[in-house]
Structure 1
Amino acid sequence: MNNYFGCNFKQLINSYRVKYAKSLLDGDRCLVKDLFKESGFVSKSAFYTAFHKRMGITPLKYLATKSDGGMNL
């Protein structure tokens, strides 16, 4: 798995979870406070860490840039 995807299993799963969370945010289909549960994370801190690592910003900043129309991600 490491050779094929370039990451371990946990990182791969988290990348899919973050991608799903991003789609929820893009579609305004979930409250931010419930986002970590909806995207499969056990804790809010694990979600924020994974989101920031993958996207480079926090979920709230992502929403703010999306609202401003300045998405450069």
Structure 2
Amino acid sequence: MSLNGKTPAEESGIDLNLGNKNDWICSRELEFHKNKLMVGIIKQIHSKRRNMGNKVRNEQAWTLCGASHLALWIT
């Protein structure tokens, strides 16, 4: 609380009662960034799988890839 009895958010003009529309936009935006991060992780795993070559058997690489896709589906 500041001297005039307002919270810092109120003083800076932030509306704490945004309503459902803005909450929905915010949650959609967060979901987008989360999905973008997961897609980036999956792409990294795919490129690692491609770059493994003969070092590791294909089944092991695909298991790692499948686990990442499952994690994306669960979250």
Give the TM bin, normalised by the shorter chain: 0.3 to 0.5
TM-score (normalised: structure 1):
0.39
Q: Greater Rg, structure 1 or structure 2?
A: 2
TM-score (normalised: structure 2):
0.38
